[in-house]
Amino acid sequence: MKNHYFRTLFNRLIISMGATAIFKCEKCGFETDELSLGPGFAVFLEAFICQDCHNIMEKPINDDWTILEGHEECDRCGKSNLIKWDNTCPNCGVFMELEPVGMWD
């Protein structure tokens, strides 16, 4: 129930400004770095995962939900094999819990 409240709040907040959050896997203990997601003043950030090293990161996106040119590489391994992240743990595949941290714009 607690996670549903935070996810609903998070979704409402990112409509008007971006939010920062950490995602945690309750099964294996994996957690993301703090991610800034949603609309900012000049850019919209979305979470992507590298299919090579499984790093989860935010990337600026276009109106068609593709990564802005010049930002297509993984922040960790430098490869361009990124897909939109579906909020599942890269270690065990379980849906990860959201922990709101703050706001950004």
Q: Which residues span the domain enclosing 38?
A: 2-104
Q: Is the pTM of this model over 0.75?
A: yes
Distance of alpha carbon 12 from alpha carbon 62, whole angstroms = 21
Distance of alpha carbon 25 from alpha carbon 105, whole angstroms = 27
| Beta strands 44-50 and 82-84, pairing class | antiparallel
- Provide the residue-wise pLDDT of the chain in tens; the chain has 105 residues: 445 545 555 554 445 678 899 999 999 999 999 999 988 878 899 999 999 999 999 999 998 889 999 999 999 999 999 999 999 999 999 999 999 998 876
Token digits of residue 67 = 């990564």
Total domains present in the chain: 1
Which residues 6+ apart lie within 8 Å of 75 measured at CB? 55, 57
